[in-house]
Structure 1
Amino acid sequence: MTLREGAEQSRAVGKLQALVRIPTVSHRDPDLVDTAAFDAFLVELETQFPLLHRHLDLTRVHTHGLLFHWRGASDARPVVLMAHLDVVPVEGEWQHPPFSGAIADGSIWGRGTLDDKGCLVGICEAVETLLEAGHTPAQDVWLSFGCDEEVFGHAAPLAVDELRRRGVRPWFVLDEGGAIASEAFPGVGAPIGVIGVTEKGITSVELRAEGRGGHASTPARNGPVARVARAVTRLEKAPLPASLPAPTIELFRRLAPHAPLPLRPLMANAERLRPALTRVLLAAGPETAAMTRTTVAVTTLSGSPALNVIAATAKAGVNMRLMVGDTVEEVLAHVRRTVGRGVEVDVVESSEASPVSPYSTTDGRGGHGSVDEAFALLEDTITEVFPDAVPAPYVMMAATDARHFTAICERVYRFAPFRMTKQQRESIHSYDEHIGVEAFLDGVDWYRRLLERLP
């Protein structure tokens, strides 16, 4: 059965359009959340997927989170498929209204098409069509849809608590994350089906300096603003050490046959040539440099409320993404040591990098090394739907709800089955977010085939 046949194609696309049009925007302050929009989303979701709601058991989680249970032929190796229904606020100038779900230039436009309503609708449409066909999955399937992922909220941890209470230990968990990414590495023409096997941790701090303040006509040396500015400059000049974790080594082994000739020996022998490859990535730009180390980004600044007033308090917000192998304690020690005296470092939030999930490896000569059955299932499904793509593990830079599920599952993966250009990836959390119609339909097909292939 194909999803390309007229009525089914327009049906699947129309469902995504309908749900993109509902502005389910998250805010850290609950008072700013439009709960009516989230209520409307859940009503529309049931309207669009009646069989899913009729045949699967539903548990509401937190305010608007959903946990569906699709009973399979066996409950020995349950699987969890994840997505989230909330989106970030709109910014920038859009070619098409951000909550229109407009179709133009072969794409569906709108906030959430990539992050993450495309995955949510893709999963639901795959389940709906399988229910229509009378399919029963080989294993129990759980669908966990969060409602506050974009603000590091409570729905996902509560879903984990609910699964733990029911004694569910998933065989594997799959959330958003990687993609069928083109233009992902300089000189590599083949798209890469990157599957996140871990994700960086997040630690945010506030640098704070205080003083008397006063009139701008009588400034004193080394005031709060000057101290914070000096601290920011010091952090910029003192990056954390760079290294390549094992999943990145495996990623480059797999990319070696597709890389420019001068880079092939370096990538094929990534394990042995780690220092040289690390230097190449650092020089190739910020996207590849972030693959090698804990990143430190100054994101907010505040000082005096008026041009003619010296600030009594100056602050800078710093967001750090912790590389596998680094710890929160080590990174905070680095920050405090670097900024020096006169600036306080207040921790706002912190979480360690996620454990590395099992993945299949090559032996460095193009042959197979170790094979993990769950990871191989994801790889094989990628190859089936996207035969031109190179499946590979990687370290995910951003944070997902999946990190909470590592408490009950050792195989937690991050992959969205959609073709994405570099421009599309840059539109996530930015402007002009859009997904190709064909890319979306391929993603629905991928989820369906994954569910059909469960052993």
Structure 2
Amino acid sequence: MSDSVAVGASHPEESNSATDAVSRLQELIRIPTMSRLDETETVWADFDRFVATLPSLYPALHATLSREVVAGHSLLYRWPGAAAGDATVLMAHYDVVPATSDGWTHPPFDATLVGEGASQSVWGRGTLDDKGALVAILEAVEAQVGVGFQPANDIYLSFGHNEETTGAGASAIVDLLASRGIRPALVIDEGGAVVENIFPGVTKPIAVVGVSEKGITSVTLTVNQSGGHASTPPRMTATVRLARAITRLNARRFAAHLTETNFEMIETLGAHTSGPLRFVFERARLFNRPLAALLGRLGDETSAMVRTTAAVTQLSGAQAANALPEQARAVVNVRIAQGSSVAAMLRHVRRAIRDPLVVIDAELPNEPSAVSPTTGAAWQLVVDSIEATYPGTIVTPYVMLGASDSRHFTRVSDFVYRFSPFRMSSDERATLHAVNERVTVSTFLAGIEFYRRVIAAR
């Protein structure tokens, strides 16, 4: 473990600036802004402390940009440009999923700096999802304000406080912008990243930029039945019936299919493969069905790219070990693919389960979001900024597998892109919402550079 930041800067002032940026990231990671679906369990004092800390860390930004608190704790900053039209929105969220120290190599809210050189990392909940991006945005804006830069058009910073639960804060910000007649010409939120070894035959780093995202719905499976003592159980208890429903649903996967965005991704990446794979990928539309089947079997990530997915995440039954449950319940987290819908998903679930005694309901249903274009000035700016920050990287559109606050912004903008400007290994991606989340210092600093390039072009 090291107490200093090794950044390889050519000038001492650059090294000091990088060290300060990492220190500010650590300070904000140490504030445990954990959001919970039951907001009565949320420690709002931590959110208040986070908001109150920002002006002291970024004084130039707060002297220049106006700030509004929306829906209790979400933040909307406005950086006035020379003209108000064609506004840009840079998004992130500062809430994190709950974490305890169990299983972590370094406690999740200690923001421990580990390693040396290129492998040096900050460990902690939120480093990747999503305080790392939020701090990178703040660092970029602070630096640009400090040199007297004024954007040509307004730039907004939208920082949600409950993205990990309902996204109500971001939705309220969109309502506010809509009421003022603001239609952003570019929105950038978390999403894809710079990754490697995710596509067969491609050895170069790939920057996957979300031009859309899957719909998300919690489907509840409920079985209501008479209870009683566990010593005299019927053959089909509520839990057995529920278990059968789950196994039936698990056995009947949603069909794999390729969307227009899938085709564009395959064709883009196919140009960088060799041999027979290149021949197939460059003719993706001709090999539609076999390619969908192939990607559906290659791995969990590629499978999720081409189909609706369903994962049982919560189970409940009796309150006592010796009592038969009067109600057994499962929650299924469903991510709905482009080209499908909440209604089509529910039809599939009902056909798979085939049991009228299992009550199936959709909670907080969200359809797949609209697809943003991969041509035009907004898209090209994102591509140019990535290529300048990460030379030699292939930039491709994709459908984001998770949900983000940006889905709300499709109500006011046609140009919503989802990209976290960090290089993430497969091991690092596996820490999202899991133990040992961490970001390398070098990629965090590269993220700042990405946002500086975007800002400079606006």
**Same fold? TM cut 0.5:** yes
The answer to whether the aligner puts 1:29 opposite 2:38 as a matched pair is: yes
Give the Å deviation of 1:188. Answer: 2.4
Aligned residue number for residue 364 of structure 2: 349
The answer to whether the aligner puts 1:71 opposite 2:80 as a matched pair is: yes
Q: Provide the rounded CA distance (Å) in 1 between the counterparts of 2:233 and 2:27.
A: 57
Structure-1-length-normalised TM-score: 0.94
Instruction: Give 1:400's match in structure 2, choosing from 386, 390, 404.
Output: 404
Instruction: Give 2:89's match in structure 1, choosing from 80, 83, 89.
Output: 80
Give the Å deviation of 1:235. Answer: 0.5
After TM superposition, the structure 1 stretch with the greater mean CA deviation from structure 2, 333-342 or 224-233, is: 333-342
Q: Provide the rounded CA distance (Å) in 2 between the counterparts of 1:260 and 1:233.
A: 41
Are the equivalent residues in 2 in contact too, given 1:213–1:311 (CA < 8 A)? Answer: yes
Pair 201,2 (structure 1): closer, same or farther in 2 beyond 3 Å: farther
Name the SS for the 1:241 alignment partner: coil
Give the Å deviation of 1:182. Answer: 2.1
5+ residue gaps in structure 2?
1-8
Q: Provide the rounded CA distance (Å) in 2 between the counterparts of 1:32 and 1:209.
A: 28
Are the equivalent residues in 2 in contact too, given 1:299–1:319 (CA < 8 A)? Answer: yes
Q: Provide the rounded CA distance (Å) in 2 between the counterparts of 1:440 and 1:215.
A: 57
Instruction: Give 1:181's match in structure 2, choosing from 174, 178, 195.
Output: 195
Aligned residue number for residue 104 of structure 1: 114
Instruction: Give 1:218's match in structure 2, choosing from 210, 232, 246.
Output: 232
Q: Provide the rounded CA distance (Å) in 1 between the counterparts of 2:10 and 2:160.
A: 29
Aligned residue number for residue 151 of structure 1: 165
Q: Provide the rounded CA distance (Å) in 2 between the counterparts of 1:69 and 1:421.
A: 34
CA RMSD, Structure 1 to Structure 2 (Å): 1.6
After TM superposition, the structure 1 stretch with the greater mean CA deviation from structure 2, 225-234 or 424-433, is: 225-234
Name the SS for the 1:407 alignment partner: coil
The answer to whether the aligner puts 1:230 opposite 2:244 as a matched pair is: yes
Instruction: Give 2:285's match in structure 1, choosing from 254, 271, 274.
Output: 271
Give the Å deviation of 1:44. Answer: 1.5
Aligned amino acid, residue 52 of structure 2: V
The answer to whether the aligner puts 1:414 opposite 2:455 as a matched pair is: no
Instruction: Give 1:93's match in structure 2, choosing from 103, 118, 123.
Output: 103
5+ residue gaps in structure 1?
360-370
Q: Provide the rounded CA distance (Å) in 1 between the counterparts of 2:186 and 2:157.
A: 12
Aligned residue number for residue 53 of structure 1: 62
Count of aligned residue pairs for this structure pair: 443
Name the SS for the 2:143 alignment partner: helix
Q: Deviations over 1:23-79 (max 9, x none)?
A: 011011222111111111112111111111110111111111110110112222111
Q: Provide the rounded CA distance (Å) in 2 between the counterparts of 1:109 and 1:307.
A: 39
Aligned residue number for residue 318 of structure 2: 304
Are the equivalent residues in 1 in contact too, given 2:201–2:277 (CA < 8 A)? Answer: no
Name the SS for the 2:226 alignment partner: coil
The answer to whether the aligner puts 1:451 opposite 2:455 as a matched pair is: yes
Are the equivalent residues in 2 in contact too, given 1:251–1:392 (CA < 8 A)? Answer: yes
Alignment of 1:159-198 (within 5 A): 159-198=173-212
Are the equivalent residues in 2 in contact too, given 1:175–1:416 (CA < 8 A)? Answer: yes
Aligned amino acid, residue 192 of structure 1: I
Aligned amino acid, residue 344 of structure 1: V
Give the Å deviation of 1:224. Answer: 1.2
Name the SS for the 1:233 alignment partner: helix
Alignment of 1:286-435 (within 5 A): 286-340=300-354, 341-359=356-374, 371-435=375-439
Give the Å deviation of 1:181. Answer: 1.4
Are the equivalent residues in 1 in contact too, given 2:96–2:130 (CA < 8 A)? Answer: yes
Q: Provide the rounded CA distance (Å) in 2 between the counterparts of 1:348 and 1:404.
A: 17
Q: Provide the rounded CA distance (Å) in 2 between the counterparts of 1:317 and 1:154.
A: 21
Q: Provide the rounded CA distance (Å) in 2 between the counterparts of 1:411 and 1:204.
A: 27
Pair 452,76 (structure 1): closer, same or farther in 2 beyond 3 Å: same
Aligned residue number for residue 241 of structure 1: 255
Aligned amino acid, residue 436 of structure 1: T
Q: Provide the rounded CA distance (Å) in 2 between the counterparts of 1:307 and 1:25.
A: 32
Q: Provide the rounded CA distance (Å) in 2 between the counterparts of 1:231 and 1:29.
A: 27
Name the SS for the 1:290 alignment partner: helix
Aligned amino acid, residue 24 of structure 2: K
Give the Å deviation of 1:187. Answer: 4.1
Q: Provide the rounded CA distance (Å) in 1 between the counterparts of 2:456 and 2:179.
A: 28
Q: Deviations over 1:296-329 (max 9, x none)?
A: 1111112223333222211111111000111111
Q: Provide the rounded CA distance (Å) in 2 between the counterparts of 1:33 and 1:305.
A: 25
Pair 153,378 (structure 1): closer, same or farther in 2 beyond 3 Å: closer
Q: Provide the rounded CA distance (Å) in 2 between the counterparts of 1:109 and 1:412.
A: 30
Name the SS for the 1:317 alignment partner: strand
Are the equivalent residues in 2 in contact too, given 1:200–1:322 (CA < 8 A)? Answer: yes
Structure-2-length-normalised TM-score: 0.94
Aligned amino acid, residue 101 of structure 1: A
Instruction: Give 1:9's match in structure 2, choosing from 18, 23, 29.
Output: 18
Query: Identity over the aligned pairs, expressed in percent?
Result: 44
Are the equivalent residues in 2 in contact too, given 1:381–1:446 (CA < 8 A)? Answer: yes
Give the Å deviation of 1:375. Answer: 0.5
After TM superposition, the structure 1 stretch with the greater mean CA deviation from structure 2, 308-317 or 149-158, is: 308-317
Aligned amino acid, residue 301 of structure 1: L
Q: Provide the rounded CA distance (Å) in 2 between the counterparts of 1:446 and 1:87.
A: 23
